[in-house]
Amino acid sequence: MPKTNTGIRPVLTLKQVQGIQEQPHPSNLPMQQKEIERIINDAMRKLNKEDYDILYELYFKHTSIHQLSKKLGISCSGIKYRKNKALKQLKSIISRQADVENSNF
């Protein structure tokens, strides 16, 4: 996983995260691009290293499941399982953050 000179994980753009965004709930209001990027970046930073690395490789570096399987020495089904686990964790983090922000209003 690439890191900046400060050792901080790279900031992701909206185009990079579009692959992991699920369909928005119809009751959600449209959000500005920068706000979406902020929310996803904050959530990605809260993932553990393994989950972050899996999502970063698959969605931001466009590494195939097969390639990542060979690179990490894990079966393709293991990569798929970890990807799904990481996506659920990311969704949970974003949902909790939304609940906190909504309760402040």
Residue 4 placed within a domain:
no
| Average pLDDT for 15-19 | 60
Q: Binning pLDDT at 50, 70 and 90, where does residue 5 land?
A: very low
Inter-helix orientation angle 76-103/65-72, to 10°: 100
| Average pLDDT for 1-10 | 52
Residue 10 placed within a domain:
no
pTM: 0.65
Residue 17 placed within a domain:
no
Residue 6 placed within a domain:
no
Counting the structural domains of the chain, the total is 1
CB crowding 29-59: b at 16 or more within 10 Å, else e? eeeeeeebbebbbebbebbeeebbbbbbbbb
* Structure-token pair, residue 44: 């990605």
Which residues span the domain enclosing 71?
Answer: 30-103
43: CATH: 1.10.10.10
Residue 85 placed within a domain:
yes
